[in-house]
Amino acid sequence: MKVRLVVDGVFEEVEQVTEALHPPESGFYWIDASTEDLQELQHIFNLHDLAVEDCMNEEEQRPKLEIYDAGHYFIVINSIRFDDEEIFLRSLNIFLGRHFIITVTQQKINELRLIKPLLLEEKVNQADRFLYHLIDLVIDNYFTVSDRIEAKIENLEEDILMHTRKSHLNEIIGLRSEILWLKKALGPQKELIATLNRKELRLIDDELQKYFSDIYENSVKISETFDTFRDLMGNLREAYQSSVANRANEIMRVFTAITTIFMPLTVITGIYGMNFDHIPELHMSNGYYFVLGAMVTIGSLMFLLFKKKDWL
């Protein structure tokens, strides 16, 4: 657990977490805690049992804002990470007070590292502005991920239409599952930010409303993008199925056509392999060559006919 006093974006480490109980002369306290620190913090800041329970839960949490009588808000939001194979959501739990903000995470979250230079640049002096920049970072990261998913979908589409491979099925099914799970998380996230975007929240400055409104717009955009992704994945799966069927049909067609072309030739050789006493052709001096020629002719004609009918 790190306790910092932030004044005009400048950080100063604080030894005693209890200092954060009283408003500083200027700036605000940021307590960057892990779930292990929660028990201690619960006593000091009077955190609600249910909020602590949510932070400890190993499961992915539903984004939400809850207003507690103790004078702070409890906010849960999910940070996203995409390692090209799987999409990970990591809960970022925030307790927002008038002059302090507590961030609680189970695993390291990149945005908590990126926020530092940003606060300095923007000379952030208030806990609610800190909240805005943190959530802005979290949401902007969804765009990075959605751009990479979009690129992946487009590559997949091109790839499938050019030369379908069996492994494409795994990719489609896997990516579609990931998108379906993610879509589930985006709905409540949008709702959470809509709540922050309303005027009446006592702990959030009215000046910030336009800024949260900007984030809200982004989170709607992300949600619409993932809806489109789901439909595109359906489109892709159908492209895959058609492509694979087309290719299978074509190969079988070639195989079957070869068999079909050779079939009459087999019968011809069979005819002149029969042991009848009287088969006049057998005794013609060029019979053999005539028959070979006939066979080549018949085979070629069949091949050309199939070609012309566009069956091959």
Site for Mg ion in 13-72 (CB under 5 A): 54
Site string for its own copies, 65-94 (x = CB under 8 A): -x----------------------------
Does residue number 232 form part of the binding site for its own copies (CB under 8 A)?
Answer: yes
3-state helix, strand, coil in the chain (%, to 5): 60, 15, 25
Q: Is 13 left (phi over 0), alpha (psi -120 to 50) or beta?
A: beta
Determine which residue in the list 114, 220, 298, 303 makes contact with its own copies, applying CB under 8 A.
220
Other C-beta atoms closer than 10 Å to the C-beta of 88 total 13
Contacts 24+ apart (CB under 8 A), 136-141: 136/211, 136/215, 137/111, 138/77, 138/78, 138/79, 138/80, 138/92, 138/111, 139/193, 139/215, 139/218, 139/219, 139/222, 140/218, 141/79, 141/80, 141/110, 141/111
Is residue 25 at the binding interface for its own copies, with CB under 8 A as the rule?
no
Question: Which of residues 106 and 112 has its CB atom nearest to its own copies in the complex?
Answer: 106
- Based on the number of CB atoms within 10 Å of its own CB, is 85 exposed (0-12), middle (13-18) or buried (19 or more)? exposed
243, interface contact from its own copies, Mg ion, none, CB < 5-8 Å by kind: its own copies
CB 1 within 8 A of CB 17: yes
- DSSP H/E element including 95: strand 87-96
Q: Does 276 bind its own copies (CB under 8 A)?
A: yes
Q: Would you say 28 or 229 has its CB closer to its own copies? A: 229
Of 18, 39, 46, 249, the one binding its own copies (CB under 8 A) is 249
Q: Does 274 bind its own copies (CB under 8 A)?
A: yes
Q: Interface mask (CB under 8 A) for its own copies, residues 123-162, using x and -?
A: --------------------x-------------x---x-
Number of residues that bind its own copies (CB under 8 A): 88
Residue 22 binding its own copies, by CB under 8 A: no
Residue 43 is a binding residue for its own copies (CB under 8 A): no
Q: Which does 256 bind (CB under 5 to 8 A by kind): its own copies, Mg ion, none?
A: its own copies
DSSP 105-128: ESS--THHHHHHHHHHHHT--SHH
Residue 22 DSSP label: S
Nearer to its own copies, 88 or 262 (CB): 262
Minimal distance in Å, beta carbon 14 to its own copies? 31
Out of 44, 70, 151, 282, name the contact with its own copies by CB under 8 A: 282
- Binding to its own copies by residue 177, rule CB under 8 A? yes
Q: Is 140 in the site for Mg ion (CB under 5 A)?
A: yes
Binding of residue 99 to its own copies (CB under 8 A): no
Q: Which two tokens stand for residue 154?
A: 């487009």
For residue 155, give the H/E element and its range. helix 127-162
